[in-house]
Structure 1
């Protein structure tokens, strides 16, 4: 199932957080459609033109965010030594690109060629990882029973070593009514059958009664 046609936002802006940072948002698709909030799970990423294409623009009102401190959101403060920052960011992004490269047909991500992106991405990822996303151990799994009765589809790539399949399996077992689809030829970044599964799940969700 192919991606939906490319679309552009019809509105965009920023939200100010309590600590004075700004978050970029954009909305596209059908203003009267079913609301869909697109969130990227890992720190350092956010809205992209490709993410818009998972959703049927005739049936969804799509809201996307750049995460705190990245993309068009205002970055966090920097460390003192620029040379140290640059070397560390380059090494981290090289490692990121390597550990998502297990899936067949992987191509290095061109976003890591941008020094500004490398710096913000590496800083945010390591900050959140160091603090375990600022959540108590197992907090998300313990709270997932609150989703009971809310349908959901989990799409996971078999080659994903960033988030191994046992994480998706544990979530699926604790979420009554969820569906788990393991894609054999996909890794962390998706593509191919992974993209088809996501588009299919969102198209089916758009058909459900509100």
Structure 2
């Protein structure tokens, strides 16, 4: 299957969701089409207009938005009132604001966690769920990336990641990074933000493209800040879940809904162990392992499975 061509938004807007936060959103495709909400990764990464290309613009009404503190939402990188459950409430506010009764939920990486949290909170407002690169905000997942796990596969790049933290603090890298990225030393903060984002960029690609990664690092310091600081904020607080397994335990609330789970075998950001655990809890959902896939939706096999999933849900 070919990706659909680039499309422009037919509507953009802003939605105030609290005394502090205002969200930016876009709609594209068919005005009266099958609505799908796309939940971006990170948290803190912001929407990606290329995600529209998974959906037939003659059939789908595609809603993209920047989560709190991300992209064009304001205030940028603000961590106040910025938790998983604030975002779940925001998704529901956006649905109501746009006059949508039910929609398809689509997300990857952090977007898969938010997609599960939202769908489990509002199953009566969900037509179906398409998620990839599965993440459930567990301590094991966060430690895999930031303490012990992925470093065994990428020891060379790991040296760069830990080099910005004094040796005596490397036993708890999340806390060490969090202190610096929320601290007052601007130079130290920027150094840690760049190291954090580069490490994740390396892990995100099945074959690391150094030139592409360095080109992305030339983006604004604000975009780097939004991603790294927000992400670390969520990780260190465990997503404000009642337990490490909340998102898996609550799958019982959505097992009646159509679901498609897509996972790259060699995903180094969100290892397949979590996707397998979700599959065992939700056997009714279609489960696809991409044998040569990594983390991002740009991996050819992962992208194809996402296209096929969107095609399958056209008539929900």
Fold conserved (TM > 0.5)? Answer: yes
Tell me, in whole angstroms, the C-alpha distance in 1 between the residues paired with 2:250 and 2:196: 32
Please tell me the root mean square deviation across aligned C-alpha atoms, in Å. 1.7
Q: How do residues 100-179 of structure 1 correspond to structure 2 at under 5 angstroms?
A: 100-101=204-205, 103-104=206-207, 106=209, 108-109=212-213, 110-114=215-219, 115-136=221-242, 137-179=244-286
**1:145 and 1:176 in contact (8 A); partners too:** no
**2:44 and 2:77 in contact (8 A); partners too:** no
Q: TM-score, normalised by structure 2?
A: 0.62
For the pair 1:24 / 2:129, whether they are aligned, the reply is: no
Q: What is residue 77 of structure 2 aligned with on the other side?
A: 76
**1:29 and 1:60 in contact (8 A); partners too:** yes
Tell me, in whole angstroms, the C-alpha distance in 2 between the residues paired with 1:33 and 1:188: 29
How far the C-alpha of 1:46 sits from its partner, in A, is: 2.9
Q: Name whichever structure is richer in helix by fraction.
A: 2
How far the C-alpha of 1:158 sits from its partner, in A, is: 1.1
Tell me, in whole angstroms, the C-alpha distance in 1 between the residues paired with 2:11 and 2:184: 37
Q: Deviations over 1:16-60 (max 9, x none)?
A: 222411111111100111110111243012311211111111110
Distance 1:66 1:98, change over 3 A: same
> Structure 1: where are the runs of 5+ without partners?
none
SS at match of 2:9: coil
Tell me, in whole angstroms, the C-alpha distance in 2 between the residues paired with 1:95 and 1:19: 35
Q: TM-score, normalised by structure 1?
A: 0.91
Tell me, in whole angstroms, the C-alpha distance in 1 between the residues paired with 2:183 and 2:73: 18
Equivalences, count: 207
Q: What is residue 168 of structure 2 aligned with on the other side?
A: none
How far the C-alpha of 1:124 sits from its partner, in A, is: 0.6
